[in-house]
Amino acid sequence: MFRPGISLPGEHAEGEQPRPVEDVRRPSAAERVRTLAQSSVSALLTIPGTEQGAPQPAADLMRTRTVGPEGDVLLLVPADSVEARACTWAQDDDLAAVMEITDVAPVSVPHRVRGRAWIAGWLTPVHGADRAACARLLAQAAPSAPAPGDSRQVLRLEVGEAYVDDLWGAEDVEPDAFAAASPDPLARHEAELLQHLAAAHSAQIRDLCACQEWEQAVPVALDRFGLRVRGWSAEGSCMDARFEFPEPVGSVDELRHAMHALFSAG
């Protein structure tokens, strides 16, 4: 099913995104934050009151993270990082921290930042048996990441509150909702799937949007409920269109059938 979006003048700021106006099936705010928290997109952890320099390299804090069974965010950071040292200094005291996650479209489109999420809570180091369990979870999330050891420290961010501002809108997320949510089943493969659709199926994507007078049309986001396409005219105006799948998909194989149905209908 086709759903129109809101047109957006080309001179608007990068952060201002086209957003849907129709009542469509969509991931909940908690699911969207959980998806970003468990993704490999860029993240920055801020600890108020500490002297922090440049962000850690992508192989460390920004990408080596996951969510534990209790809904805490687990991070693998260098043992000599500001974050690890601050936790050591704090000992048993609550150490407030905020993680900001920035989601950038993996394809070239106007207004490429698709959204941001903020997770605020309390940061503690993980020791003992818990450390081994958390290390296994982190290894599953990022198999190529270094294992915890003398040079790497596992930290736990207990979620106190969360907030998301993305293509669907801006919403608060409670800790219980975050803990109960599941990440989108396509999130791990979304970047390569969007790049494949843009490179190998551009004609079918344009056919889907044939009713729009667009100069270009590029798939910009994908979730279990549907596909979002961003189009823009020669004058620079920008709009999103949403195409719903007949049923929510739970795997890449199911997605292939859903995309075939969309293209056939188009």
Q: How far apart are CA 56 and CA 43, in angstroms?
A: 10
Give all strands of the β-sheet with 2-4 in edge-to-edge order: 2-4, 238-244, 226-232, 216-223
The neighbour count for residue 117, using CB atoms within 10 Å, is 25
For residue 188, which amino acid is it? R
What pLDDT sits at residue 160?
97
The residue whose two tokens read 């994908």 is 222
- Would you tell me how many other CB atoms lie within 10 Å of the CB of residue 245? 20
What pLDDT sits at residue 48?
85
- The pLDDT score that the predictor gives to residue 213 is 84
- 254 by DSSP, 3-state: which? helix
Residue 160: name the closest of 94, 240, 112, 211 by CA: 94
pLDDT at 81: 86
Q: For residue range 42-88, what is the model confidence (pLDDT) as tens digits?
A: 899 999 877 554 444 433 445 689 999 999 999 988 888 888 889 88
Q: Work out the number of other CB atoms within 10 angstroms of the CB of residue 233.
A: 15
Tokens representing 28?
């909940």
User: Domains along the chain?
Assistant: 2-25+188-265 (3.20.180.10), 29-182 (2.30.110.10)
Cα(5)–Cα(217) distance, integer angstroms: 13
Average pLDDT along the chain, 266 residues, taken 10 residues at a time: 40 51 81 95 86 44 80 91 87 86 95 95 88 84 74 92 94 98 96 97 93 91 96 86 93 96 86
Which amino acid is located at 98 in the chain?
V
Structural element, H or E, at residue 236: none
Return the pLDDT at 14: 45
Q: In the numeric block, which tokens belong to residue 229?
A: 């396409």
- For 178, list phi and psi in degrees, rounded to 5: -60, -45
User: What pLDDT was estimated at residue 21?
Assistant: 46
Please name the amino acid found at residue 238. Answer: C
Q: What is the total residue count of the chain?
A: 266
| pTM of the model as a whole | 0.86
Tokens of 176: 């219980």
Look up residue 112 and give its two tokens.
Answer: 């490429």
